[in-house]
Amino acid sequence: MAVLVGKEAPDFSAAAVVDGVDIVEDFSLSQFRGKYVILFFYPKDFTFVCPTELHAFQEKLDAFKAKNTEIIAVSTDTEQSHWGWLQMDKDNGGIEGVTYPIVADTNKTISYNYDVLAGDFYYDENDMLQAEGELVAYRGLFLIDRDGVVRHQLVNDLPLGRNIDEAMRMLDSLQYLEEHGEVCPANWSEGKEGMKATHDGVADYLSTH
């Protein structure tokens, strides 16, 4: 598993569905430099856990945008599949109402570059290329800062849904660090005090908590 934290997020250009209806052929990550990005991968359209995550991000989209943050989803399905799923209402298992971009990683290179592609390729005894396992994306999530650097990553196995509040907490932690120059201890959340990254700062923190 590649650790991308501290490294520049791999850029890409691919088709995506934007605002729930518009197919954009050359959607790129780099167009969002100067903003924070939460880039998350999910396995498949028209499934069970995936729509709960996509709807959960949509419910908090305004809160993320208020913090200068873009939400971008990626799966290995085609843009046509994304579009069709977006036209289905929630009661029927669809994701109608999701407005943030959903990228089509049809050739699986984005998932591969972020090292969240499940399954693997190999050559058999006849030198024929084969695939082992299903080549879909794990539930990867990457918090990318305004300079395009990955500051946090989390990867769940396919059946395990994510906590969107935790993604927000990590964003808040990063922005608190940038604004105050203080680190965030365990279970820190917005509104709590941080810590100065010195021995004196730790002592001050412990004396008041």
Active site residues: 50
For residue 197, CA distances in Å to 6, 194, 202, 203 come to 19, 9, 7, 11
Return the residue matching tokens 């990063």. Answer: 174
Give the Cα separation of 150 and 142 in Å (integer).
6
15, 158 contact by CB (below 8 A): no
Give the Cα separation of 100 and 57 in Å (integer).
9
Residues in the chain: 209
Nearest to 38 by CA among 130, 133, 139: 139
